[in-house]
Structure 1
Amino acid sequence: MTETHPDGDPALLLTDFVNTLNIEPGTDEIATPAELAGWLAEQGLVPGGTPAGDADLHTAITLREGLREAMSAHHGPRGADYPDDLEDALAALPLRIALTGPRPALVPLDPPGSAAAGLARIAAAITDSVAAGTWPRLKVCQEDTCRWAFLDTSKNRSRSWCSMSVCGNRTKTRAYRARRRSG
């Protein structure tokens, strides 16, 4: 079972999940177990009314921030190490390899009515994104006050900011002012 965003792209599911924490204003869409359960249901990853507990919330936050760091590593050289926390979160999720369909896929072990199964579906979207060729194009804004996840659709895969007009402009303006002060 391939897990995708309602628009059909696993990369968009991953960016939406990472962007549940908006760093600049400090808003978190999954700050409580109930909010996590609601978000998973809104994405169609679990049935409505699925409960989530504190352990699920801890796993979700660890998974989200691990994905953010992994996407940040996509700005660097190939073969960059992924964070240990991400490895730990993935190891905690109930997944198995299913040998059905046109290619092997990761599928949740837990029944679909659990938050862990919803988080496992997000983890499965990583392999779906790799298969689709979008995984190395998933990045986070290099502006420290932003860190918004985005899909780099530039031809040469060199995009650094979520928005050139906002974050790119901030960074370039800061660099310009620093050069003028030191000059």
Structure 2
Amino acid sequence: MTNPSDLVCDFVNTYDVETDTDSIPSPAALTAWLGRRDLIGPADAAGDDDVGLAVELRESLRAALRHNHDRDQEAGPPRSFAELPLRVSLTAAGPVLEPVATGVPGGLARIAAAVMSVHADGMWPRLKVCTESTCQWAFVDSSKNRSRSWCSMKVCGNRTKTRAYRARRQTETDSRRL
């Protein structure tokens, strides 16, 4: 199975803000996505309610990841797991959140369990979404001081810095005209 941090980011990135493209817009697409990650069995199939729950989970995760840019205001995992079939089990390594169902609800519960695993491992504050408003791509901040803001400096960082530069130049030009 995929690294829990990667699974959470991959799930959040099923919606591409920049292109307004959703990788899980239908029950068939959600089934395929979960199946490719071995989160459900080959005979499992999603319904419309499952797609709604998946989108709600994804967007609550995206909102929670936005808070991880402010180190003084780190948000914990979202609290929107109430509809997912989860339980806490006590293991030798400590408490673990695990799915108690199979099928698509169990697959979505595995994503929620991955979120809690990331949090328990202390990696939650490193999961972020790009601060570029047109992007919002989820990523793991691997910088030493946890200060990374963009998914890519070459693309989103450059866009942001170029806009700021142009705005400063425009202000300078406007002030000279006065």
Instruction: Determine the structure 2 residue equivalent to 1:90.
Output: 81
Deviations 1:117-170 (A, max 9, x none): 000000000111012221110000000111000000000000000000100000
State how far apart, in whole Å, the 2-side matches of 1:104 and 1:81 are.
20
State how far apart, in whole Å, the 2-side matches of 1:79 and 1:142 are.
16
State how far apart, in whole Å, the 2-side matches of 1:18 and 1:157 are.
20
Q: Structure 2: give runs of 5+ residues left out of the alignment.
A: 173-178
Choose 1 or 2 for highest CA Rg: 2
State how far apart, in whole Å, the 2-side matches of 1:10 and 1:147 are.
19
Give, as a single letter, the amino acid of the residue that structure 2 aligns with 1:47: G
Give, as a single letter, the amino acid of the residue that structure 2 aligns with 1:31: P
Instruction: Say which SS state the counterpart of residue 92 (structure 1) adopts.
Output: coil
The total of aligned residue pairs comes to 172
Deviations 1:77-99 (A, max 9, x none): 4345569xx42x31111100111
State how far apart, in whole Å, the 2-side matches of 1:79 and 1:91 are.
24
Percent of aligned pairs sharing the same letter: 52
How large is the RMSD of aligned CA atoms in angstroms? 1.5
On the 8 A contact 2:12/2:58 being kept in 1, the answer is: yes
Instruction: Determine the structure 1 residue equivalent to 2:35.
Output: 41
1:153 to 100, 124, 142: 142
What is the Cα deviation at residue 26 of structure 1? 1.8
More off after superposition, 32-41 vs 169-178: 32-41
TM-score by length of 2: 0.91
Runs of 4+ in 1 over 6 A off after TM superposition: none
Instruction: Say which SS state the counterpart of residue 153 (structure 1) adopts.
Output: coil
Q: Structure 1: give runs of 5+ residues left out of the alignment.
A: none
On the 8 A contact 2:74/2:125 being kept in 1, the answer is: no
State how far apart, in whole Å, the 1-side matches of 2:88 and 2:76 are.
22
Give, as a single letter, the amino acid of the residue that structure 1 aligns with 2:143: S
